[in-house]
């Protein structure tokens, strides 16, 4: 029994994740057919969606999970602010904005390691 569960466990976890995730998506489709886009409730749902996403993105930058958590928060904030600045200074060039954020974090991380490369 234990061995069967060990070999099938990951597949059950995958199936559970898919079912729950697709559940939210399909519920969204069902509801979207009933909510008029010029209604107040639609406006409110839009606000909720944007607030939720902004909260998630801010959390990913300020309190990341995984390996990024090892970098100082000031480095991540600095890189994010630089990305924003470059983005708006280059008339919203997405590539340059994203790249400068990436480069800034990489250089800061290297710099803190005392330029130990290789």
Binding status of residue 12 toward other proteins by CB under 8 A: yes
- Cβ of residue 76: shortest distance to other proteins, in angstroms? 7
- The candidate with the shortest Cα–Cα distance to 77, out of 96, 89, 60, 93, is 60
**Within positions 33 to 62, which residues make up the interface with other proteins, using CB under 8 A?**
33, 35-40, 42-62
Q: Which of 1, 2, 4, 95 binds other proteins (CB under 8 A)?
A: 95
Q: How many residues bind other proteins (CB under 8 A)?
A: 79
Phi and psi at 39, nearest 5°, equal -95, 160
Task: For residue 72, give every residue at least 6 positions away whose Cβ sits within 8 Å of its Cβ, in sequence order, or none.
Answer: 112
Whose tokens are 């979207």? That residue is 32
Q: Which of 67, 72, 74, 89 binds other proteins (CB under 8 A)?
A: 67
């Amino acid at each position: 029994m234990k061995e069967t569960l060990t070999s099938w466990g990951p597949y059950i976890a995958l199936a559970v994740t898919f079912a729950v995730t697709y559940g939210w998506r399909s519920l969204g489709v069902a509801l979207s057919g009933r909510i008029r886009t010029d209604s107040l409730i639609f406006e409110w749902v839009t606000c909720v969606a944007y607030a939720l996403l902004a909260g998630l993105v801010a959390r990913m930058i300020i309190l990341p999970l995984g390996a990024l958590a090892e970098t100082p928060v000031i480095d991540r904030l600095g890189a994010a602010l630089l990305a924003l600045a470059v983005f708006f200074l280059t008339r919203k060039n997405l590539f340059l904005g994203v790249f400068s954020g990436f480069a800034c974090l990489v250089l800061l991380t290297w710099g803190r390691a005392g330029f130990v490369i290789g």
